[in-house]
Amino acid sequence: MPTANLTKAALLMLCIVVVSLISWEYMWRHKGYDRGFNDDVGLWRKNRLKVYQPQNEATVFIGSSRIKFDLDIPTWEKTTGEKAVQLALHGSNPRPALVDLGNDENFKGKLVIDITEGLFFGPRPEIEMNQRVQYGQEASPAQKAGDQISFALEHQFTFLQKDLFSLNAMLTDLRIPNRKGVRGDIIFPPKFSYVTFDRQEILTDTFVKDSAMLRWQTDIWTMFGALSDEPGAGGDTLQKILEEVKTAVAKIIARGGKVIFVRTPSSGGYWAHEPIQYPREKYYDQLLRATGCKGIHFQDYPDMANFICPEWSHLTKEDAVEYTQALIKALQQQNWFSNPRK
């Protein structure tokens, strides 16, 4: 084929691609979606690289989803003048991240560990967090470059959010009924949350204001065992978990680092049953004793004790601001910000 025809074909293709992408982007923005970031291994690794900042410049957070929603990073950074490095991951056990930081000889910073007992002491496989830890250590130059390109594009385009607009996500959203006797994947409510570039997760206003969606989400928590009174891990399993945590924490403290545990608020069905499944004395308090660390339990602080999580587990955007201020106050009481270099 002559070159001139190929050039015309290429230009036509380029025009079609550009017009299609602009239309696709415009449609989703018109429907009320805004830009957000894929909370993938690349975004986690970007934050993992920030843990080496001096103690008077940053605090690292690990945990499950609650601290991701409940810590309002702009409020934290404005109030404390320090960076918040968010390494928590929803639906996952943070122990692999703790072990990773414990084994990292260069990490000598401040670490806040959020405890969601059902995950921290639970039997759930740790695949997701392990994947991130592994990627943090072994990402290839091509993957690192790809992450940088992804970040630049995700800053501009809404439709790149995989959980919302990938083909799989959109097929799932069709909600085709399963055959009788077949149980499909759990489908989370659309517009549940979005993720910022520093990995804070925020419940959307659309979700919080829609009682049907809130009910949909609490039904999912119920399916996950939120209303169960079955006791959590005990005996040797619990002792092994405590020993693993104790070892990792001791390594960090031995290098001059600081560690504190935090129990973020839950309410409704979760808070009605969590103390039965995971009695504080047996789990949270024993964890503090085993590690010799301080803890900030929301129940112990009047300005944290009365938050209502709309779907039992996470705070709204507005409450996250208040909780963060209360958390900073509680940390100040524990001399968290008293580094002599500051």
Partner 1 sequence: MVFNSYTFIVFFIIILILHNLPFTWRMKKINLLLASYIFYAAWNPPFIILLWISTLIDYFVGIKLHQETVKAKRKAWLFISIAGNLGLLGFFKYGNFLLENFTLLCQSVGLDYHPAKMDIILPVGISFYTFQRCLTVWICTSVRVFQKDHCLTSPCL
14 binds partner 1 (CB under 8 A): no
Per the structure block, which two tokens stand in for 33? 């979606």
140 binds partner 1 (CB under 8 A): yes
Which residue number, 39 or 274, has a Cβ lying nearer to partner 1?
Answer: 39
Stretch that binds partner 1, among 30-38, 122-130, 142-150, 168-176 (CB under 8 A): 142-150
Distance between the two ends of the chain, CA-based, in angstroms? Answer: 69
Which residue number, 42 or 122, has a Cβ lying nearer to partner 1?
Answer: 42
In the complex, least distance from residue 172 CB atom to partner 1, rounded to whole angstroms: 21
In the complex, least distance from residue 332 CB atom to partner 1, rounded to whole angstroms: 43
Which residue number, 39 or 72, has a Cβ lying nearer to partner 1?
Answer: 39
> Do the Cβ atoms of 257 and 110 come closer than 8 Å?
yes
- Give the separation between CA 119 and CA 241, rounded to whole angstroms: 12
Q: Which of 23, 105, 106, 142 binds partner 1 (CB under 8 A)?
A: 142
Buried-exposed string 199-225: b where 16+ CB fall within 10 A, e elsewhere: bbbbbbeebbebeebbebbbebbeeee
3-state secondary structure 18-40: HHHHHHHHHHHHHCCCCCCCCCC
In the complex, least distance from residue 193 CB atom to partner 1, rounded to whole angstroms: 25
Query: Coil, helix or strand for 44?
Result: helix
Nearest to 118 by CA among 236, 219, 269: 269
Which residue number, 166 or 325, has a Cβ lying nearer to partner 1?
Answer: 166
38 binds partner 1 (CB under 8 A): no
The CA angle 206-168-315, to the nearest 5 degrees, is 30
Interface with partner 1 in residues 145-204 (CB under 8 A):
145-146, 149-150, 153
Per the structure block, which two tokens stand in for 18? 């550009």
Per the structure block, which two tokens stand in for 79? 């109030």
In the complex, least distance from residue 47 CB atom to partner 1, rounded to whole angstroms: 20
Q: Which of 143, 237, 299, 332 binds partner 1 (CB under 8 A)?
A: 143
Helices (H), 31-72: 41-48, 65-70
Q: Which of 2, 30, 141, 341 binds partner 1 (CB under 8 A)?
A: 141
* Residue 218, Ramachandran bin (φ over 0: left; ψ between -120 and 50: alpha; else beta): alpha
Helices (H), 112-234: 117-120, 127-138, 141-154, 162-165, 167-173, 205-208, 211-223
Which residue number, 14 or 187, has a Cβ lying nearer to partner 1?
Answer: 14
Stretch that binds partner 1, among 51-59, 136-144, 224-232, 270-278 (CB under 8 A): 136-144
Q: How many residues bind partner 1 (CB under 8 A)?
A: 9
- Give the separation between CA 233 and CA 283, rounded to whole angstroms: 9
In the complex, least distance from residue 145 CB atom to partner 1, rounded to whole angstroms: 5
In the complex, least distance from residue 165 CB atom to partner 1, rounded to whole angstroms: 16
Which residue number, 70 or 147, has a Cβ lying nearer to partner 1?
Answer: 147
In the complex, least distance from residue 160 CB atom to partner 1, rounded to whole angstroms: 10
In the complex, least distance from residue 138 CB atom to partner 1, rounded to whole angstroms: 9
- Give the separation between CA 127 and CA 251, rounded to whole angstroms: 24
In the complex, least distance from residue 40 CB atom to partner 1, rounded to whole angstroms: 13
Which residue number, 150 or 286, has a Cβ lying nearer to partner 1?
Answer: 150
Number of neighbouring beta carbons within 10 Å of residue 342: 12
Which residue number, 153 or 187, has a Cβ lying nearer to partner 1?
Answer: 153
**Binding region for partner 1 (CB under 8 A):** 140-143, 145-146, 149-150, 153
